[in-house]
Chain A
Amino acid sequence: MTTQALPSALAAIVDDFQALSEPERLQLLLEFSEGLPALPERLNDHPELLEQVVECQSPLFLTIETEKNDGGQAPAVRLYFKAPAEAPTTRGFAGVLHEGLDGLSPEEILSVPDDMPELLGLTRAITPLRMRGMTAMLGRIKRKVAAASGVRA
């Protein structure tokens, strides 16, 4: 698997991680955790609209919304995440997926390989146990996108 198969924003993030040493990769993940946008108020007031990804070590909730585009363009998928500040690793994973996938079309998101998190080069520093949470998060997003757009994952 190479980064060429990835949507460009996600490929750029993977390149950034791969260019760094292991401790610097952790620092970058921390920055992604700080950059994760807060939920919009309408979702904050309705936690039942979000689904929990139970494979994550810390509570992580997410949902997607599809914005129809005028003029025959593909719709844009918007991603929303909620994770506590005490869970920076989980927030960092969510931040990577948000920056890499938010606003893309369903087809672009569904084309992301399931094992993409391994490309970040964090498995040793984070441990496989913790990486599993990010893989589960990506899987959940793809399943929800597939269900919403009627495309098979």
Chain B
Amino acid sequence: MPYPVEQNEKFAAYAHPERLVSTEWLAAALADGAVANGNLVVVESDEDVLLYETGHIPGAVKIDWHTDLNDEVTRDYVDGAAFAKLAASKGISRDTTVVIYGDKSNWWAAYALWVFTLFGHQDVRLLDGGRDKWIAEGRELTKDKPAPAPGNYPVVERDDAPIRAFKEDVLAHLGTGPLIDVRSPEEYTGQRTHMPAYPEEGALRGGHIPTAASVPWARAAAADGTYRSREELEAIYLGEAGLTAGDDVVAYCRIGERSSHTWFALKYLLGFESVRNYDGSWTEWGNAVRVPIVKGAGRGSVSVPAGV
């Protein structure tokens, strides 16, 4: 049974207010026993694999983006059987309302939400502001790990096409629809191939996909880690980046996690019907043989038809 949707003025302006909850709302739901009785499952998903263990929202379970959601052998996400097993072990059934939160303004939480969406999980929401806002407000944390009653989750095959772009899709997309590059300006221009102060992950060339607009992911977040208002988001993505309602948009970053945060903003807050996350991102594109790139601050153009 879906848990009631939060009503507030900020969320009401978004295209899909049902995709966000506030820290106040979650605290009230916790006090009502919604997590304890299994009506609501709260998932923490962080960059650091041990952060959950240092203290988390009472009743929250942990899903690690790398060890839980990626297949160990195939360069891909887990399959339907593995996802069903994971979800059930976290007390999640197919119709459970899931609220995901995490560190760094919900990067990894948005990534986990995107993977849940690949499996068509209906009711999955983000905690606006994530872990940092919860802590900044002095709300309760615990080190107690819950032992949820197993959920009942069917084996559902992933449906990648609507929200996931592969390299070939991006090649076909060149010249026909907009791309948003959410990496840092230094990565976009090709000055560097990884985030400032982050590990070098082995892209051979620096630069961006031709025609991509540069909108670093953090532009979508306010200082407290919450998403900016609809009006502010429209000024950034429609105004500066030049997207138009109805566009078919592809977002990418380095490995697909920062772009999940932007994917969420475009899809659910601004209401673009067709937004795909290119999770291969720069680690694939920057190394791929014979795909075009552009260096420097200009977006560049597609001079040669894709596939030739």
Contact = CB atoms under 8 A, between A and B. Distances in A.
Interface of A: 26-27, 29-30, 33, 52, 54-59, 85-90, 92, 124-127, 129-130, 132-133, 136
Nearest to A125: B67
A66 B47 CA distance: 35
A52 B199 CA distance: 12
A128 to B, nearest CB: 10
Interface residues of B, number: 16
The residue in B53, B72, B103 that gathers the most chain A C-beta atoms within 10 A of its C-beta is B53
Contact of A88 (B54, B197, B201): B54
Contacts of A86: 48, 51, 103
A55 B53 contact: no
Nearest to A88: B50
A125 B49 contact: yes
Contact of A85 (B54, B66, B200): B54
A57 B198 contact: yes
Contact of A87 (B48, B53, B66): B48
A29 B51 contact: no
Interface of B: 47-51, 53-54, 66-67, 72, 103, 197-201
Contacts of A126: 49
A30 B199 CA distance: 22
A129 B198 CA distance: 11
A88 B199 contact: no
Given A125-B67, A127-B66, A127-B67, A54 B50 contact: no
A59 B197 contact: yes
Contacts of B47: 57-58
B48 A88 contact: yes
20 contacts: A30-B53, A33-B50, A52-B197, A54-B197, A55-B199, A56-B199, A57-B48, A57-B198, A58-B47, A86-B48, A86-B103, A87-B48, A88-B51, A90-B48, A124-B72, A125-B49, A127-B66, A127-B67, A129-B66, A132-B199
A86 B130 CA distance: 14
B133 to A, nearest CB: 14
A112 B196 CA distance: 30
Contacts of B197: 52, 54, 59
Given A89-B48, A89-B50, A54 B66 contact: no
